[in-house]
Amino acid sequence: MDISSATKPDGKNGDLAESNMAADRDEDFNTRYGSFRGWQMAIERVKPIPRDTAQLNLSRMVLDQRLKDTTQVVDYMIHRFMRVPPSDEARQKMIVFLNKELGTTDISVAQTYLEDPLRLVLHLIMSQPEYQLG
């Protein structure tokens, strides 16, 4: 078979609409084969980027700063990771979120399980439109 016949998709009972058959007859360039070859070349040329998470110890950062409560933690993280501070409403929502995640406002009580909630707060910070301005 020629390339157009070999790459022709099967319809119901092997039939194609008349317009598709006419397009295949008049085709100077086989788009199905061109698309296949384009994907094949992309896979051959594109080198994968190894993915890895950022090696941050947010708990250590917070404890080294001797922060006492969740308000100080959120303010520290905003200052550390943002150039343009968020609105007061967004800041308050982050504080309430951290309070809920930790189950307390006292950082010394939550030292053993601090990392995951801090990562969630950092995600919230990086999701703010003001973060994109930095």
Domain membership flag for residue 52: no
Domain membership flag for residue 129: yes
Domain membership flag for residue 51: no
Domain membership flag for residue 84: yes
| Residues 38 and 95 grouped into a single domain | no
Kindly report whether the global pTM for this prediction surpasses the value 0.85. Answer: no
Residues near 111 by beta carbon (within 8 Å), at least 6 away in sequence? 59, 63
The band of 100, judged by pLDDT with boundaries at 50, 70 and 90, is: very high
- Rounded Cα distance, 94 and 34, in Å: 51
Q: pLDDT tens-digit profile of 44-97?
A: 998 888 888 778 899 999 999 999 999 999 999 999 999 999 999 999 999 999
| Residues 34 and 64 grouped into a single domain | no
**SS3 state at 43:** helix
Q: pLDDT tens-digit profile of 40-50?
A: 999 999 888 88
CA-based nearest residue to 83, from 129, 115, 42, 114: 129
Q: pLDDT tens-digit profile of 11-26?
A: 555 555 565 555 555 5
Rg, the chain, Cα only: 28
Per-residue pLDDT, 31: 77
Question: What phi-psi label fits residue 54: left (phi over 0), alpha (psi between -120 and 50 degrees) or beta?
Answer: beta
| Residues 41 and 95 grouped into a single domain | no
Number of domains present in the structure of the chain: 2
